[in-house]
Amino acid sequence: MTTKIYPLLMLLLASCWLTACDNKTPNTPATQVVKKYAKATTLEGRVSNDHGLIKTGQVIAIDTEQHAIISTQIQDNGHYQLEIPADTVLPIVLSANQANAEPLIVAIIDATISKYDINPRTTAIANKAKAMGGYTRSNLVIAAEGMVSVPDANKTTTGFRGDPTTQYGGWH
């Protein structure tokens, strides 16, 4: 028994010693990958509130510095469609503005998804993620999971079935 432990102990000590001697590598800060739209991309979806589809108003794409990127009108069927220019850096926020109501928003962090519904649930998720430190994937996932109520029929003894974070809008 001790003959097997001794070589492992020596290997462990040697690795610690070699690691401690390597002080010549500079401390480089972690680089953050900038995500952006590689090409112009059309985003679309529906805007709704607790009473149904919103038929009038405007959807505005806003960057992290609160500058408007592009805007469009909401159609009679609650649908919007706008084209995000190439090289637009993520995250961005789509804000649905309507008369006499608070804006509804959805945070966008993924350039591969093009359909985003905007509703009170997406607004609550985006606001919670922002309060947690910003529109990051991990913050949006945590916010979405906290907002989702899972029907008992969709639960298993090990957790959820399905994806509770679809478009960061909840259980689908």
Residue 22 forms part of a structural domain: no
Model pLDDT for residues 21-70, shown as the tens digit of each residue: 555 555 555 566 789 999 999 999 999 999 999 999 999 999 999 999 99
Residue 1 forms part of a structural domain: no
pTM over 0.85: no
Share of the chain above pLDDT 70, in %: 67
Q: For residue 91, is the peptide bond before it cis, meaning its omega torsion is within 30 degrees of 0?
A: yes
Q: Would you state the pLDDT for residue 57?
A: 96
Tell me the pLDDT of the chain averaged across its residues: 82
Q: Would you state the pLDDT for residue 27?
A: 56
Domain assignment of residue 140, given as a range: 41-151+158-168
Model pLDDT for residues 139-164, shown as the tens digit of each residue: 999 999 987 666 656 555 555 555 55
CATH number of the domain enclosing 145: 2.60.40.1120
Residue 2 forms part of a structural domain: no
Into how many domains does the chain fold? 1
Tell whether the model's pLDDT for residue 2 goes beyond 60: no
Buried b (16+ CB within 10 A) or exposed e, 45-81: bbbbbeeeebeebebbbbeeeeeebeebebeeebebe
Residue type, 11: L
Residue 145 forms part of a structural domain: yes
Residue with the bigger pLDDT between 99 and 95: it is: 95
Residue 26 forms part of a structural domain: no
Q: Would you state the pLDDT for residue 147?
A: 77
Residue 14 forms part of a structural domain: no
